[in-house]
């Protein structure tokens, strides 16, 4: 398997490609994005189709999609600026692409990586040049000190220390002398990417035609996958379980670190909330690899089954279009199966064979995974359940192994990995081998919980599959019971929804439990004591053991099944030991001495355990059908009064970075055994010695689990929480405001006897504003109109006055929950933040929001007005210039990557205090960001040149006023004109030179030099007209004009 080369420059060198038309070598290029090669337009200007891109040993078809300009100017010897060409590769290839710079400074010494025929054997070979950057030549940078041989045009110009690409090489026309060459800077590449984003459509590469699976091994595998996809993953119901395809509800996911943003401010108003949720399968079309994180029973395994089944059915049907998940053949592999110390492909073959037990005739051969399943198609290895590897060392070893494969450029494999959340950033190590600029190779996602509409879909499908004759009535009654219970907020995972439906089916007339543990308790009780399979087994055991055990002893054995399962679950989770019949026999005989006399006790015990439906065979042992059942059962011994300590419980929660499922079950079962929870909750809500609410995440998790506190404890907790929320400790924003505090307030609102207590909390000046924001947001989200309006009114007050950073957050929340009438207030708050230099974080957030809501032009013109206002202090004007650079970064940022932004309130709460970052997306960025020693007029001119296209009339007038401003010296104004002539767009340069040429205060010689500069912009006639007008004047003007005309 190819592995990443060491060193950033070595990695960038791997991006270089050679371009051919048939057997004719044309020149060099490099991957600039996934599936896109950048080269010089003059290299391929005579060819658009049938290009060959040679990358390593691969020969890939390519087609020109953008050439800028489209063809050469016959009047010029050089191809016109910017001389760029984008080529789309016609095959899906796993390749690196070049990083572009984060700052505007080009190093003095660079290297060029490309191909040439300048080698002893006169074949096309890799070539490396070491060049010095001499300075600007017009809009190019001049390179010297090495010969640029034929074929090197289109090479990447790289900083050898960082591997960052600062431009593209345009060779000189004299190949016989060491003339060096020219460089088109990264700024021009950014501009071209922005201009042609629609044409490039970087997310839909050209693909080669599909072919049907021809290998008999592959066809057998696909047929088995299509059947396995319909297997219901858990034995939870009487009789035959429904096919998974009949009850499956399509899941959605959101990026763990952000998502997409709304298009306009109106899109964020009520009735049009835009979350980053999208179909979970979309991630496979956006990333090479993906990581999916979800809680217990969140639907990870069923999602993988659905992907594997759909891809198999699609390939077997011979569809002309690729599956909705891309050109992949998907195989599911339990993560535990990959921890054996075997060759990787052998582990894959054995794990897939075991997963498809009974559906394939022969074990899969490791050689099946030695190459792609079909031309142009990858294996999608779906590693399921990293969290189920309980041994930390083994789990981290597997994570590091997978990370190495994610960072490599293997052409055969893609990876989809699932897990529950893991402690201490373990999952972040999966991206350790991926270069930072290629971070989108690994998508990082959270499975979204089921929403009420999803639950309705599930109920309809479940009861239609189970009871088609009365499905509508049962589904309606089930949903009515859920809506009227405290369980409603908890049914957000497919597994919990499924076992709740089974509990309801068993006794439709009874009320549903109030919490997650209660649902598991009733479900396990049903499996153990009331299911018909279990009742038949009891009769069989009495018959088989008649004469050896009394009926009472058989009944006792049946009752001992649950404690035995609890013991096996404890061993499974604490010692990572799979359940086995010998362990069960040892436990049962230790409890009941009479069992020693039973022959073949192991056979009876095996049937006893598997009849519960919670254990399935795994080779010579067994395992729980789902880890959450093991956690529920193992919580029984852990919650015993002799073992349970709330201090140890809290320490473990803080050590693990949150409350794990086992710990939650343990606490709930301890409460059921008499543990008093209120003192623990009160202690967790109190600020610690550093005045931080470190216990809030734990309280939030407890309430999120729906743990029953009882009516008396519930009322007392409400009063305690409301009182403690009024405290004003300092704390980091983070998940406290995004998740923990809103969940606590939501719990209080749902159980509040008087919502007015929460209204006062949202408006109290004695409560910190971030807390008031979180409370107001929860109120505004309420489905009760009166409560929601109270929340919106509190948000309006917070957005209208106070600290700017808090006002900005209030504007974000109000945009999410407000009305159309709030738009003016929101825009005013963001504009106030934008022009106040004292709050850099608030300014950057406001600028981001305005840009992403469609008001980027307003934001930039507002900042330009501040920067150009001579009545403001220099410090304020310089600060506005810095924010203009940030605006350039956001408006002209690289395209092709899925935007890592979010319309979720929590994202802005987390980022509101972060400072801006700058990128060299404009040739003027360095001037705008220059230090205070640079004349302010230079920076102002650079800002005007950058944003001239936004409003040519207004900014043109601003440039004229700037160049006529007598507070700047004549030398400063002339230097600005010269800079604009060399580096600005021609329209801006002409306006600047005309303004200077008309300035009587500059003096004759300077005006004459400016007039001559106009000729370099193709304005020879205008130059001659000025000289002719000056010729008739007396004095030095006339003499210089006549001398110039005589020349």
Rounded to 5°, the CA angle 798-727-813 comes to 25
Q: Are residues 431 and 471 in the same domain?
A: no
* Rounded distance between C-alpha atoms, residue 372 and residue 364, angstroms: 15
Residue 441, Ramachandran bin (φ over 0: left; ψ between -120 and 50: alpha; else beta): alpha
Please tell me the total count of domains within the chain. 4
What six digits make up the tokens of 394? 């083994």
* pLDDT-based confidence at residue 28 (cuts at 50, 70, 90): very high
Residue numbers of the domain that contains 502: 452-514
Cis peptide before 69 (omega within 30 of 0): yes
Residue 601's pLDDT is 83
Q: Are residues 221 and 77 in the same domain?
A: no
Q: Are residues 35 and 170 in the same domain?
A: yes
Q: What does the pLDDT average to over 846-874?
A: 79
Residue 374 class from Cβ within 10 Å (0-12 exposed, 13-18 middle, 19+ buried)? Answer: middle
Q: Are residues 370 and 489 in the same domain?
A: no
Residue 895's pLDDT is 26
Q: Are residues 106 and 220 in the same domain?
A: no
Establish if 990 belongs to a structural domain: yes
What six digits make up the tokens of 853? 């809501």
Residue 243's pLDDT is 73
Tell me what percent of the residues of the chain surpass a pLDDT of 90.
7
* pLDDT-based confidence at residue 950 (cuts at 50, 70, 90): confident
Task: Please check the confidence at residue 559 and state whether its pLDDT lies above 70.
Answer: yes
Establish if 29 belongs to a structural domain: yes
Q: Are residues 306 and 411 in the same domain?
A: yes
Q: Are residues 383 and 432 in the same domain?
A: yes
Task: Please check the confidence at residue 175 and state whether its pLDDT lies above 50.
Answer: no
pLDDT tens, residue by residue, 106-137: 788 899 999 998 877 778 889 999 998 887 77
Interacting residues of 394 by C-beta distance below 8 A, sequence separation 6+:
339
Q: Among 171-175, 775-779, 859-863, 974-978, which is the least confidently predicted range?
A: 171-175
Q: Are residues 173 and 35 in the same domain?
A: yes
Residue 157's pLDDT is 93
* Rounded distance between C-alpha atoms, residue 548 and residue 588, angstroms: 16
Establish if 575 belongs to a structural domain: no
Establish if 47 belongs to a structural domain: yes
Task: Please check the confidence at residue 40 and state whether its pLDDT lies above 90.
Answer: yes
Q: What does the pLDDT average to over 773-795?
A: 81
End-of-domain residue from the set 447, 468, 489: 447
Establish if 858 belongs to a structural domain: no
End-of-domain residue from the set 514, 530, 549: 514
What SS3 state is found at 512? coil
Does 1029 or 377 have the greater pLDDT score?
377
Edge-to-edge strand list for the sheet holding 378-384: 278-279, 252-255, 442-447, 289-293, 413-419, 378-384, 328-334
Q: Let me know: does 598 contact 562? Beta carbons within 8 Å.
A: no
Q: Are residues 13 and 83 in the same domain?
A: yes
Q: What does the pLDDT average to over 1001-1005?
A: 72
Longest dimension (CA), the chain: 136
Residue 531's pLDDT is 63
Q: Are residues 339 and 472 in the same domain?
A: no
* pLDDT-based confidence at residue 931 (cuts at 50, 70, 90): very low
Residue 754's pLDDT is 64
* pLDDT-based confidence at residue 730 (cuts at 50, 70, 90): very low
* Rounded distance between C-alpha atoms, residue 832 and residue 830, angstroms: 5
**Average model confidence (pLDDT) for the chain?**
77
Establish if 633 belongs to a structural domain: no
Residue 533 class from Cβ within 10 Å (0-12 exposed, 13-18 middle, 19+ buried)? Answer: middle
Establish if 93 belongs to a structural domain: yes
Establish if 666 belongs to a structural domain: no
Residue 194's pLDDT is 74
Does 668 or 229 have the greater pLDDT score?
668
Q: What does the pLDDT average to over 813-833?
A: 83
Task: Please check the confidence at residue 31 and state whether its pLDDT lies above 90.
Answer: yes
Rounded to 5°, the CA angle 330-336-340 comes to 105
- φ, ψ at 382 (rounded to 5°): -100, 100
* Rounded distance between C-alpha atoms, residue 754 and residue 743, angstroms: 18
- Which of 222, 214, 144 shows the shortest CA–CA distance to 177? 144
Q: Are residues 438 and 460 in the same domain?
A: no
* Rounded distance between C-alpha atoms, residue 61 and residue 208, angstroms: 9
End-of-domain residue from the set 488, 514, 540: 514
Task: Please check the confidence at residue 302 and state whether its pLDDT lies above 50.
Answer: yes
Q: What is the CATH number of the domain that holds 27?
A: 2.40.10.120
Task: Please check the confidence at residue 213 and state whether its pLDDT lies above 90.
Answer: no
Residue 476's pLDDT is 92
Residue 691's pLDDT is 45
Residue 564's pLDDT is 92
Does 945 or 458 have the greater pLDDT score?
458
What SS3 state is found at 309? helix
* pLDDT-based confidence at residue 322 (cuts at 50, 70, 90): low
Calculate the CA dihedral of residues 724, 728, 732, 735 and round it to 10 degrees: 30
* Rounded distance between C-alpha atoms, residue 665 and residue 633, angstroms: 9
Residue 922's pLDDT is 42
Q: What does the pLDDT average to over 1022-1033?
A: 64
Q: Are residues 298 and 423 in the same domain?
A: yes
Q: What is the CATH number of the domain that holds 295?
A: 3.40.50
């Amino acid at each position: 398997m190819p592995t990443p080369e060491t060193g950033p420059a070595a990695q960038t060198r791997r991006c270089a490609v050679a371009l051919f038309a048939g057997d004719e070598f044309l020149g060099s290029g490099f991957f600039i994005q996934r599936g896109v090669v950048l080269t010089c337009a003059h290299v391929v200007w005579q060819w658009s189709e049938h290009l060959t891109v040679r990358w390593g040993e691969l020969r890939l078809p390519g087609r020109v999609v953008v050439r800028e300009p489209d063809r050469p100017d016959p009047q010029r010897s050089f191809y016109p600026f910017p001389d760029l060409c984008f080529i789309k590769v016609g095959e899906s290839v796993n390749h690196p692409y070049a990083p572009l710079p984060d700052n505007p400074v080009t190093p003095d010494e660079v290297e060029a990586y490309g191909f040439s025929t300048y080698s002893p054997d006169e074949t096309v070979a890799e070539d490396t040049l070491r060049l010095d950057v001499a300075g600007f030549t017009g809009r190019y940078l001049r390179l010297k000190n090495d010969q640029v041989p034929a074929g090197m045009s289109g090479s990447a110009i790289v900083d050898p220390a960082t591997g960052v690409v600062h431009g593209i090489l345009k060779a000189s026309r004299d190949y016989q002398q060491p003339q060096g060459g020219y460089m088109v800077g990264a700024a021009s590449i950014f501009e071209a990417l922005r201009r042609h984003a629609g044409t490039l459509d970087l997310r839909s590469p050209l693909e080669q035609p599909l072919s049907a699976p021809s290998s008999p091994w592959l066809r057998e595998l696909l047929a088995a996958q299509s059947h396995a996809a319909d297997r219901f993953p858990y034995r939870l119901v009487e009789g035959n379980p429904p096919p998974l395809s009949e009850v499956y509800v399509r899941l959605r996911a959101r990026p763990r670190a952000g998502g997409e943003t709304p298009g306009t401010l109106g899109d964020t108003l009520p009735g049009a909330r835009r979350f980053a949720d999208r179909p979970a399968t979309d991630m496979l079309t956006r990333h090479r690899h993906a990581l999916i994180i979800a809680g217990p029973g969140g639907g990870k395994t069923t999602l993988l089954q659905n992907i594997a089944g759909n891809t198999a059915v699609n390939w077997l049907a011979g569809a002309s279009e690729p599956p909705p998940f891309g050109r992949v053949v998907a195989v599911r592999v339990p993560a535990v199966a990959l921890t054996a110390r075997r060759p990787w492909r052998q582990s894959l073959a054995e794990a897939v064979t075991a997963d498809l037990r009974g559906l394939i005739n022969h074990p899969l051969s490791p050689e099946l995974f030695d190459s792609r399943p079909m031309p142009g198609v990858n294996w999608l290895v779906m590693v399921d359940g990293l969290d189920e590897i309980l041994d930390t060392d083994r789990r981290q070893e597997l994570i590091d192994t997978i990370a190495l494969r994610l960072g490599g450029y293997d052409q055969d494999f893609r990876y989809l990995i699932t897990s529950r959340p893991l402690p201490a950033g373990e999952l972040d190590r999966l991206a350790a081998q991926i270069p930072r600029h290629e971070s989108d190779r690994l998508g990082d996602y959270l499975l979204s919980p089921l929403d009420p509409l999803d639950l309705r879909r599930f109920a309809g499908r479940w009861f239609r599959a189970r009871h088609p004759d009365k499905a509508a009535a049962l589904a309606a009654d089930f949903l009515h019971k859920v809506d009227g219970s405290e369980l409603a907020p908890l049914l957000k995972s497919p597994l919990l929804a499924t076992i709740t439906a089974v509990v309801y089916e068993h006794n439709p007339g009874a009320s549903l439990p109030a919490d997650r543990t209660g649902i598991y308790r009733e479900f396990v009780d049903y499996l153990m004591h009331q299911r018909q399979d279990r009742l038949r087994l009891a009769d069989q055991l009495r018959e088989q053991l008649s004469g050896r055990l009394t009926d009472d002893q058989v009944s006792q054995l049946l009752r001992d099944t649950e404690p035995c399962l609890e013991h096996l679950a404890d061993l499974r989770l604490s010692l990572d030991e799979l359940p086995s019949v010998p362990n069960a026999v040892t436990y049962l005989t230790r409890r009941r001495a009479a069992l020693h006399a039973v022959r073949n006790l192991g056979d009876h015990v095996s049937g006893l355990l598997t009849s519960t439906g919670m254990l399935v065979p795994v080779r010579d042992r067994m395992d729980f059908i789902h880890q959450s059942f093991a956690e529920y059962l193992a919580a029984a011994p852990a919650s015993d009064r002799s073992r349970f300590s709330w201090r140890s419980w809290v320490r473990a929660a803080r050590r693990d970075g949150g409350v794990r499922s086992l710990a939650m079950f343990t606490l709930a079962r301890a409460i059921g055994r008499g543990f008093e929870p209120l003192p623990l909750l009160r202690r967790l809500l109190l600020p610690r010695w550093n005045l931080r609410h470190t216990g809030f995440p734990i309280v939030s998790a407890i309430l999120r689990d729906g743990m029953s506190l009882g009516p008396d404890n519930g009322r007392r907790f409400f009063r305690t929480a409301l009182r403690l929320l009024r405290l004003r400790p300092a704390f980091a924003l983070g998940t406290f405001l995004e998740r923990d505090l809103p969940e606590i307030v939501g719990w209080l609102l749902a159980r509040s006897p008087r919502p007015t207590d929460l209204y006062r909390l949202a408006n109290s000046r004695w409560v910190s504003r971030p807390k008031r924001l979180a409370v107001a947001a929860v109120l505004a989200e309420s489905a009760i109109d009166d409560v929601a309006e109270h929340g919106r009114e509190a948000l309006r007050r917070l957005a209208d006055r106070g600290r700017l950073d808090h006002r900005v957050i209030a504007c974000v929340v109000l945009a999410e929950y407000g009305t159309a009438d709030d738009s003016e207030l929101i825009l005013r708050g963001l504009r106030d933040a934008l022009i106040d230099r004292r709050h850099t974080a608030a300014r950057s957030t406001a600028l981001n929001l305005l840009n992403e809501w469609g008001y980027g032009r307003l934001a930039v013109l507002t900042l330009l007005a501040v920067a150009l206002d001579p009545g403001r202090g220099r410090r304020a004007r310089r600060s506005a210039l810095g924010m203009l650079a940030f605006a350039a970064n956001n408006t002209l940022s690289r395209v092709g990557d899925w935007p890592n932004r979010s319309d979720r309130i929590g994202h802005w709460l987390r980022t509101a205090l972060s400072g801006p970052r700058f990128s060299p997306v404009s040739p003027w960025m360095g001037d705008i960001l220059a230090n205070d020693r640079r004349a302010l007029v230079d920076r102002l001119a650079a800002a005007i040149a950058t944003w001239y296209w936004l409003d040519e009339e207004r900014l043109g007038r601003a440039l004229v006023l700037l160049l006529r401003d007598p507070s700047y010296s004549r030398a400063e104004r002339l230097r600005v004109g010269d800079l604009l002539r060399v580096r600005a767009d021609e329209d801006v340069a002409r306006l600047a030179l005309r303004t200077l040429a008309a300035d009587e205060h500059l003096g004759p010689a300077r005006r004459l030099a400016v007039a001559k500069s106009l000729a370099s912009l193709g304005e020879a006639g205008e130059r001659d007209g000025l000289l002719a007008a000056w010729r008739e004047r007396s004095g030095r003007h006339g003499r210089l004009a006549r001398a110039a005309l005589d020349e």
